[in-house]
Amino acid sequence: MRVLAAMSGGVDSAVAAALAVEAGHDVVGVHMALSRERDQMRSGSRGCCSIEDAGDARRAADVVGIPYYVWDLSARFEETVVADFLREYEAGRTPNPCVRCNEHIKFEALLDKATALGFDAVATGHYARVVRGAVTELHRAADAAKDQSYVLAVMGPERLERALFPLGGFASKDEVRAEAARRGLSVSAKPDSYDICFVRDGNTQGFLRDRLGSRPGEIVDSSGAVLGEHDGAYGYTVGQRKGLGIDAPAADGRPRYVLEVDAAANRVVVGAAELLSVDRITGEKSVWLADDVLAGAGADGWVEGEVQVRAHGAPVPARVRTTGDAGAEVELLGAPLRGVAAGQSLVVYRGTRVLGQATVASAHRARPASVGTRA
- pLDDT tens digits, one per residue of 298-355: 889 999 999 999 998 999 999 999 998 899 999 999 889 998 999 999 999 999 999 9
Looking at this protein, which amino acid is placed at residue 45? Answer: S
Task: Tell me whether residue 98 is one of the annotated catalytic residues.
Answer: no
Task: Tell me whether residue 48 is one of the annotated catalytic residues.
Answer: no
Rounded average pLDDT over 291-302: 90
Read off φ and ψ for residue 193, nearest 5 degrees: -85, 155
Read off φ and ψ for residue 337, nearest 5 degrees: -95, 155
Mean pLDDT check: name the lowest of 34-38, 244-248, 325-329: 34-38
- Asked whether the beta carbons of 302 and 287 are under 8 A apart, the reply is no
- Could you tell me the residue ranges of all domains in the chain? 2-189, 214-271, 276-364
In the set 48, 49, 98, 101, the catalytic residue is 101
Q: What is the DSSP letter of 80?
A: I
pLDDT tens digits, 118-153? 999 999 999 999 999 999 999 999 999 999 999 999
As a whole number, the mean pLDDT across the chain is 91
- Nearest CA among 198, 192, 195 for reference residue 35: 198
* Parallel, antiparallel or unpaired: strands 345-350 and 128-131: unpaired
- Asked whether the beta carbons of 333 and 318 are under 8 A apart, the reply is yes
The angle, 0 to 180 degrees and rounded to 10, between the axes of the packed helices 204-212 and 83-90 is 90
Percentage of residues of the chain with pLDDT beyond 90: 81
Q: Does domain 2-189 have CATH number 3.30.930.10?
A: no
Percentage of residues of the chain with pLDDT beyond 70: 93
Superfamily holding 214-271 = Adenine nucleotide alpha hydrolases-like domains (2.30.30.280)
Q: Determine the CATH number of domain 276-364.
A: 2.40.30.10
In this prediction the pTM is 0.91
Please say if the pLDDT value at position 157 is more than 80: yes
In the set 48, 49, 98, 197, the catalytic residue is 197
- Nearest CA among 351, 295, 353, 345 for reference residue 321: 295
